[in-house]
Amino acid sequence: MPEAPPVIDAFFTVTENGRETGFVTRGGRAARFDWDTGRMADGARPLERMWPALPAAFRSGFDAVLVTADPWSMVFRGAQCLLLNPLDGSVAEVSTIAARLPGLPQPFPQGIDAALASGAGQEVYLFAGDQCARYDLRAMNVVEVAPLERMWPGLAQHAPAFTAGIDAAVSRPSQGAFHFFHAADSTGGTLATRTVTETARPVDDTTWPGLVPTFAPGFAYVQVGRNIDVIDLESDRDVETLDINPHSDSTTALQVSPDGRLLYVWTHTQRLCLDTTTRRIVADLPFASGESPACGVAFSAGASLVHGATKNWEQGKLYLDTFRAGTTERTQRVELRAQDLRAALSAQDDGADLKASGIGADMGSAVASPDDRFVYLGVDLDGRGAVVEVDVRAGRLRQAFRMPAGNAFTIALSPDGVHLHAAGREGVCTFDVRNGAVVRQGVLPGCTALAVSRGGDGLYCLPWDWDTKEGLLIADPLSHAVRRRIPVGGSGGPGHPHAIAFDYAGTFAFLSEEHANAVVIVDTETYDMVRAIPTRDGQRPMSIAVGPY
């Protein structure tokens, strides 16, 4: 079996004000790793955007990086090298390896695979093929060159495949630990003794949370006709068609879990869960006679739980159900009673006569607060729209927010959990969940879908009206002032996007565009439309979800 390609090209750590930050590169992109949390800190950005002063030859990728005088780091690319300050982007002294590090034997001057500072004095380790060189930066000479298994005791025992070469090496100076990467695995040990102590393990969300999906091109799951098309975002080609017919009236019929491992599909009668690595159904959530799913789902922050509304059409009851993600095990059911909602809204309605005879979900999604305590759901009470806040820890409806006009077909929550955005045909309304106050309304048009950028600085709005064709609107989350109108239709027209999803790191927004019958990709940093991927047979795309697998 061929060996897996390297999961990363380079990994290095710099320190600023006592805080250690890792930088990881793969291909022409880089992302930060937070050593304190043990997770990726943000999404991958193009190297030229992360460090604009980089020469063109270095923008397509780094072979290795060596931190020499923190934060100044020596970057290797082929036979060339330069000095980079990753904190302010300064670049200096572009040179060759042979000139910068004289005395290195072949094949080192032609390219460095990985590099690592010793943590003591000016001695560093350089890796090329199955060889490792100890180099003294003060004396500018080679101390020793030896095979990897001899230079790093324990490597052959704990990670034998690594003796053929190291793809990337990194240390965390404050802990005295180092880590090696080879193909799709990693190992590590104690830097002071150069001893490998960890058995090689796959690089995944258990060993390096977020690293693989941050750099994965990923896949788009698109509702096309009565099926789900799977598009490989590296090749922009359909790679599989799933024989599942999602709900045709919702923009949230397809949703990927935060870790990218699960795809939830809302059909007209079922809620299905698929493993995205196999694309096979792993859970068909149970519903009693007369019951069916009534909205999309919300995931807990750790993706261990999933919440969704269930409607009992025979009894006229609405429930918020919670399941263990990836299973059919229901852990909680909270009945959302019309009389409880009426009581919660009574102070807002100025004595308006609410019969409270019927309650239903508004076909959109549920969203969970960042602390996993609350779940928000758009509902309809006797034809009037509202958003309910359910305390899932206490198992009760806690409060509700009346829509000034229309329904709450789509909702989104700010990353800090403070501002709740809701929209339907009549426009967008933003609430402060701490006191129920309306922060802004009447500025933005009615929308089929809302989404908040990962950083919380942009409210993405997909206008409802087909005739106006306003394209994608990106607004200020609080003032609702439109910052950008992005045309996403065919031939440069504004277009009419139907649904939206972000990739794992929030670097790109993916839109199902009904006018051009395509999946449109928008860069969330530059607000530029990157490209459009035509759907199979030119069919209309509806719901969309994006994940790394």
Q: What are φ and ψ of residue 343, in 5° steps? A: -65, -40
Residue 280 has a pLDDT of: 98
Give the pLDDT band of residue 350 (cuts 50, 70, 90): very low
For 110, 198, 360, the CA distances from 98, given in Å and listed in that order, are 8, 34, 71
The predicted pLDDT at position 217 comes to 92
In this prediction, residues 99-113 reach a mean pLDDT of 98
What is the end-to-end Cα distance of the chain in Å, rounded?
21
Mean pLDDT of the chain: 93
Residue 195 and residue 244 in one domain = no
Lowest mean pLDDT among 246-250, 455-459, 540-544: 246-250
Give me the mean pLDDT over the 259-271 stretch: 94
Identify whether 4 is part of a domain.
no
* Average pLDDT for 131-139: 97
Question: If residue 172 lies in a helix (H) or strand (E), which one and from where to where?
Answer: strand 168-172
Domain that holds residue 200: 10-212
Residue 104 Cα distances to 84, 121, 126, angstroms: 22, 19, 10
More confident call, 366 vs 352? 366
**255 and 136, same structural domain?**
no
Find the mean pLDDT for residues 435-449: 95
Q: Are residues 393 and 288 in the same domain?
A: yes
What is the pLDDT averaged over residues 445-451?
95
For residue 352, pLDDT beyond 60: no
Of 184, 212, 240, which one is at a domain's C-terminal end? 212
* CA-closest candidate to residue 306, choices 287, 321, 290: 321
Q: What is the pLDDT of residue 351?
A: 43
* 228 and 188 in a common domain: no
DSSP-derived secondary structure letter, 445: P
Both structure tokens of 212: 């693989």
CA angle, 322 then 447 then 224, to 5°: 70
Shared domain check, 258 and 154? no
State the average pLDDT over residues 532-540.
93
Helical residues (DSSP H) of 115-172, grouped into ranges: 148-151, 155-158
C-alpha to C-alpha distance for 281 and 267, rounded to whole angstroms:
13
Confidence band, pLDDT 50/70/90 cuts, at residue 349:
low
444 domain-assigned: yes
Q: Are residues 208 and 250 in the same domain?
A: no
Q: Which residues of 212-221 are buried (b: 16+ CB within 10 A; e: fewer)?
A: bbbbbebbbb
Strands 39-40 and 10-16 turn out to be: unpaired
Which contacts (CB < 8 Å, 24+ apart) does range 13-21 have?
Answer: 13/67, 13/170, 13/171, 13/172, 13/173, 14/67, 14/70, 14/71, 14/73, 14/86, 14/87, 15/70, 15/71, 15/173, 16/71, 16/87, 20/172, 20/173, 20/174
> Are 214 and 547 contacting, i.e. CB atoms less than 8 angstroms apart?
no
43: domain CATH number?
Answer: 2.110.10.10
**Hey, what amino acid is at 234?**
E
- Give the integer Cα–Cα distance in Å for 405 and 395: 29
pTM for this one? 0.91
- If asked whether residues 167 and 307 sit together in one domain, one would say no
Residue 381 has pLDDT above 90, yes or no: no
pLDDT of amino acid 383: 78
Mean pLDDT, residues 429-448: 96
The tokens for 486 are: 């992005």
Domain CATH number, residue 250 = 2.130.10.10
Ramachandran sector of residue 219 (left: φ over 0; alpha: ψ -120 to 50; beta: rest): beta
Q: Does 274 share its domain with 303?
A: yes
308 shares its domain with 338: yes
Say what the pLDDT of residue 491 is. Answer: 75
Q: What is the pLDDT of residue 493?
A: 84
Q: Percentage of the chain surpassing pLDDT 70? A: 97
- pLDDT tens for residues 144-185? 999 999 999 999 999 999 999 999 999 999 999 999 999 999
What is the total count of domains within the chain?
2
Q: What proportion of the chain, given as a percentage, has pLDDT over 90? A: 83
Could you read off the pLDDT of 33-60 as tens digits, one per residue? 999 999 999 899 999 999 999 999 999 9
More confident residue, 508 or 314: 508
pLDDT tens-place string over residues 272-293 = 999 999 999 999 999 999 999 9
Q: Is residue 469 included in any domain, yes or no?
A: yes
What is the tens place of the pLDDT at every residue in 355-365?
A: 555 677 777 78
Among residues 162, 184, 212, the one where a domain terminates is: 212
Give the pLDDT mean for 246-259. Answer: 92
> Does the pLDDT of residue 80 top 50, yes or no?
yes
3-state secondary structure of 479: coil
Domain boundary among 158, 191, 212: 212
Domain membership flag for residue 2:
no
393 falls within a domain: yes
Same domain, 383 and 473: yes
Cα(44)–Cα(213) distance, rounded to whole angstroms? Answer: 10
Q: Is residue 498 part of a domain?
A: yes
pLDDT of residue 492: 76
Q: Do 180 and 243 have their domain in common?
A: no
Does a structural domain hold residue 155? yes
Tell me the torsion sign for CA atoms 125, 129, 131, 135: negative
Q: What is the pLDDT of residue 344?
A: 82
Residue 387 exposure: Cα atoms within 13 Å on the Cβ side: 35
Q: In this structure, is residue 147 part of a structural domain?
A: yes
Are residues 253 and 360 part of one domain?
yes
